[in-house]
Chains A and B, each alone.
Chain A
Amino acid sequence: MLRFENVGLRYGVGPEVLRDVSFALAPGSFHFLTGSSGAGKTTLLKLMYLALRPTRGLVHVFGQDVSMTPRTELPDLRQNIGVVFQDFRLINHLTAVENVALPLRVGGAKQVEIDSHVRELLSWVGLGERLDARPSTLSGGQQQRVAIARAVINRPRLLLADEPTGNVDDRIAVRLMYLFEELNKTGTTVVIATHNNALVEKFGHPILRLDDAELSVRRKLDTKETS
């Protein structure tokens, strides 16, 4: 599904922000990505959703070596990756429905199909009454749910979320995690970057831990992280 081999990344001539990162995600797996602020979680996610190219090492996405894939074929890979951004990145002049519909439109889905799927999903995340609301009129939590709905609307093979529960209360956070788990059960590989150790512990999925630009894979949190 996703494999990194000795991946390193530096911005310009600065120090490496990621160093010798190697891991593999099996299809249908669920991982948390943790690490202190500035550890490189967002950078690692950017490499996963092909917004950056590594300065060294190999990145394989859906079995394809990204460095060997022609640029014209990258959109096909990206259409199978859903991303929830930390800052939501909703388009302000579009309604909630239109924002969520974007990945489907980009993928060339028919309008009838788009309408029914989008309304259904927005209702499921509790925004059935705010379908035509613009992001600026939504609360932080509502915007986050729109962002999540947009990331999962086309049932991506890989879902990457950067602090998806950062702006919602615990009850909504748990509900969103259940949404991600539901999606995971249908075969989507999920990676959630988070600081919320309580959620990590509660759901108990394996952890990709970034420290000092290096990555380690763990089954659960350290004792000092849970305390």
Chain B
Amino acid sequence: MFSRHSDLPFERDQSTRFLPWIVALMVFLGALMFAAALVVSDAVDTWDNSLTGRMTIQIPENETPGDTIQKLTEALQSAKDITSVRIVPDAEARALLIPWLGEGVLESGLPIPSLIDVEIDAGSRIDSVLLQARLAEIAPNVAVDDHRAWLSALIDLARTAEILAFAILALIASAAVVAVIFTTQSGLAVHAAIIELLHQMGARDSYIASQFQLQALMLSLRGGVAGAAAAVIVLLFFGWIGRGIDAAFLPSLSLSLLDWIFLLLVPAGAVTIAMLTARVTVLRALARMP
């Protein structure tokens, strides 16, 4: 298939010389954008799964005399839609502060609030204000931390970033389409005499279009492979850097196997777009011939 001889001397076209470079750049940028979208999407899913359906009850240290914690726990267990209540051990609570305040927090006399971790039935929505009012009857300064409030703002922001990444990807694809259209139209003009000859011999439009399509395949494949290879190197580098960053809540910069497989769609998509664009451009031009 790839060694198929062409009636049109594409190798002499100056206009086609730049197409692999353009496709390589498009694929490189497209792959980075797609990877960014995948990273954000993975992060949103992780945040969503780990934090949705949870609440944390904070009781200031000076409000935990006697059986206050126990009463709060019982009140929570009896509340509707709460599936699990767990008192967070003091050591675990302090460990949560280590990334922010350092190891010294373990020995310091810093007052640490008592924490109760609450899991809510999936799909139910508990009114955190109402719950806080009920719990305040037991411990007046108790705080109900509903993760959904700030998480939903964070997820909205991440989703916006994800949409933006896909929008940029679509713009890159559009730019690739325009580049292929111009290259193909230039090829049609350069080879007009031979195309007219083939047309007169009875060549069907598809016969001529398939030659341009094959040429677009070869050029975009060359550019696509180069662009994808460059993107892989950059993404592996980012992944390597990401492994050295200890930030619990930042999205992981490493891609999963599935993400890498999805990334293959970028060069494959670029090649497909180039082929189809070339074919459609040629067919539309030939349709104007008698």
A7 to chain B, nearest CB (A): 15
Is the CB of B200 closer than 8 A to any CB of chain A?
yes
Is there contact, CB below 8 Å, between B290 and A75?
no
The reply on A26 being an interface residue by CB < 8 A is no
Interface size class of A (residues with CB under 8 A): 20 to 34
Contact B202 A103 (CB under 8 A): yes
Flag if A107 contacts B290 (CB, 8 Å).
no
From A53, A71, A93, A106, B201 is in contact (CB under 8 Å) with: A106
Q: Are A106 and B202 in contact (CB-based, < 8 A)?
A: yes
On whether A51 and B290 interact (CB within 8 A), knowing A83-B200, A94-B7, A106-B202, the answer reads yes
Contact A78 B201, beta carbon cutoff 8 Å: yes
A89 near B197: Cβ-Cβ < 8 Å: yes
Contacts of B197 in A (CB 8 A): 89, 91, 102
A51, B200: Cβ atoms under 8 Å?
yes
A50 touches B201 (CB 8 A): no
A51-B290, A93-B12 are known contacts. Are A103 and B7 too (CB-CB below 8 A)?
A: no
The yes or no answer to A49 lying at the interface (CB within 8 A) is: yes
Provide the bound-state CA to CA distance between A107 and B12, in Å: 26
Contact of A93 among B9, B198, B199, B204 (CB under 8 A): B9
8 Å CB contact of B203 from A49, A71, A106: A106
Taking the closest CB of chain A, its distance from the CB of B192, in whole angstroms, is 12
A106 touches B290 (CB 8 A): no
CA distance A116 to B229 in the complex (A): 46
> What mask results when residues 155 to 177 of chain B are scored 1 for a CB within 8 Å of chain A, else 0?
00000000000000000000000
Complex contact B290–A52 (CB within 8 A): yes
Cβ–Cβ < 8 Å partners of B5 in chain A: 98
Contact A49 B7 (CB under 8 A): no
The answer to whether the Cβ of A129 comes within 8 Å of any Cβ in the partner chain is no
Q: How far is the CA of A53 from the CA of B207 in the complex (A)?
A: 23
B290 and A50: CB pair below 8 A? Answer: yes
Distance to closest chain A CB from B287 (angstroms): 8
Residues of B within 8 A of A81 (CB): 202
Residues of B contacting A94 with CB < 8 Å? 7
For A85, give the chain B residue with the smallest CB separation: B197
Contact in complex: B202, A53 (CB < 8 Å): no
Q: Which residues of B contact A72 (CB under 8 A)?
A: 204
Report which of B193, B194, B202 forms a contact with A107, defined as CB distance below 8 A: B202
CA distance A87 to B237 in the complex (A): 60
Question: Which of chain B's residues have a CB closer than 8 A to the CB of A113?
Answer: none
Chain A residues lying within 8 Å of B198, measured Cβ to Cβ, are: 102, 106
Q: What is the 8 Å Cβ interface bit string for chain A, positions 67-81, against chain B (1 contact, 0 not)?
A: 000011011111111
State in angstroms the CA–CA spacing of A103 and B197 once bound together: 10
Query: What B residues does A53 contact at CB under 8 A?
Result: 290
Closest beta carbon of chain B to A58's beta carbon, Å: 16
Contact present for A49 and B200 (CB under 8 Å): yes
Across-interface contacts of B194 in A (CB, < 8 A): 91
Please measure, in the bound complex, the distance between the C-alpha atom of A32 and the C-alpha atom of B5, giving whole angstroms.
38
Q: Contact between B12 and A75 (Cβ–Cβ < 8 Å)?
A: no
Q: A76-B202, A103-B201 are in contact. Are A89 and B290 (CB under 8 A)?
A: no
Which residues of A, 73-126, contact B by the 8 Å Cβ criterion?
A: 74-81, 83, 89, 91-94, 98, 102-103, 105-107
Interface on A for B, CB 8 Å cutoff? 49-53, 71-72, 74-81, 83, 89, 91-94, 98, 102-103, 105-107
Ranked 6 nearest A-B pairs via Cβ: A79-B202, A78-B202, A93-B9, A75-B202, A106-B203, A106-B201
